[in-house]
Amino acid sequence: MNDQEFTIWCNIDFTATQESERELLLKGVGSHRLITFAPNQDGREGESRAVLRTADIGFGYPDAQAVAECARLRWVQLHSAGYTTFDLSDIKQALTRRGMILTNSSDVYDEPCAQHLLAMITSVARGLPLALDVQRGDKSWPVSAMRPTLRLLNEQTVLMLGFGSIARRLTELLLPLKMNLIAVRREISGDEPIPINKSSAVDEFLPTADHVVNILPANEQTKNFLSAERLAKLKPGAIVYNIGRGSTLDQTALIKELRSGRIAAAYLDVTDPEPLPPEHPLWETPNCYITPHLAGGCDREKKRQVEHFLDNLRRFEQGQPLRNSIW
């Protein structure tokens, strides 16, 4: 056991109802020095910047450029699954050059995100959004119109864009439904439980997909990855889901495809911009269902963030590999 004491910079937000989670963190860091800030104090200025420059560890979401300028920092754990501001070549080079470890909290979000996607996929197949529209609307009884439109998911093809921990968990949830699962990803590890292809080959698989599940992060390579040209390759009746980042999908092209009826539906948990303005046309686009960035949420989210950090802190103390390491 490493008995070295570390200074930990933290800007995790604890609400008034999350005192037990705060106490869990305070107790878990033990003899290490924990200095906390509000979420908007991200190390760019003031005391949060001064402490970040003297800290060994960061937990929360510090400003990426501020981190790049902190030569003492040895490890930063982001409380999110996303790491967009760190996924830039100059930031990555600066941090990897001095051996700083960056981890995210994807293990915190794989279960809720996978369950959210399962809910999206099954609810559209069984007509739940349309049935709710009827209940809140004219309260008619459209059994003859709706029953023939409901889908069985068995043997339908799901194409996953990205294959990290969320997609792995979604795979486990979908396999009992006997769906055909394939994925594309930037790098193939070889241990994936379903057929995987390089992201550059995605155009070959788009016309075969009944469901396109977008779990891509936002970076220089994924901007408008689901472009107008790629959406046009989808077969009629396909459904698009996005819980990655709004910038990875051409929303204007999606609106056009939905209005034409060629794409059957879209389920969006992320948009560009966020929050989505009330006047944005996505709100009124037919068969477009929106949840306001809820996929990663659950009643234990903050506790899971803290537990994940503390588990990695124990590993860091002992010189062991950390979970969810980005580099």
Supply the residues annotated as catalytic: 245, 274, 293
Helix ranges (DSSP H) in the chain: 19-28, 46-54, 64-68, 89-97, 106-125, 128-136, 143-146, 165-174, 202-205, 228-233, 251-260, 301-317
Q: Are 66 and 49 in contact (CB under 8 A)?
A: yes
Q: Report which residue type is found at 37.
A: F
221: Cα within 13 Å, side-chain hemisphere: 11
- Using the structure block, give the residue that is written with the tokens 């937000």: 13
User: Before 236, cis peptide (omega within 30)?
Assistant: no
Give the list of residues 6+ apart from residue 145 with CB closer than 8 angstroms, or none. Answer: none
b/e burial code for range 115-138 (CB count within 10 A of at least 16 → b): ebbeebbebbbebeebeeeeeeee
- Using the structure block, give the residue that is written with the tokens 């399962």: 118
How does strand 239-242 pair with strand 288-290? unpaired
Distance CA 66, CA 53 (A): 8
Element at 158 (helix H, strand E): strand 157-161
Distance CA 59, CA 269 (A): 25
SS (H, E, C) 253-287: HHHHHHHHCCCCEEEECCCCCCCCCCCCHHHHCCC
Per-residue DSSP letter, 194: S
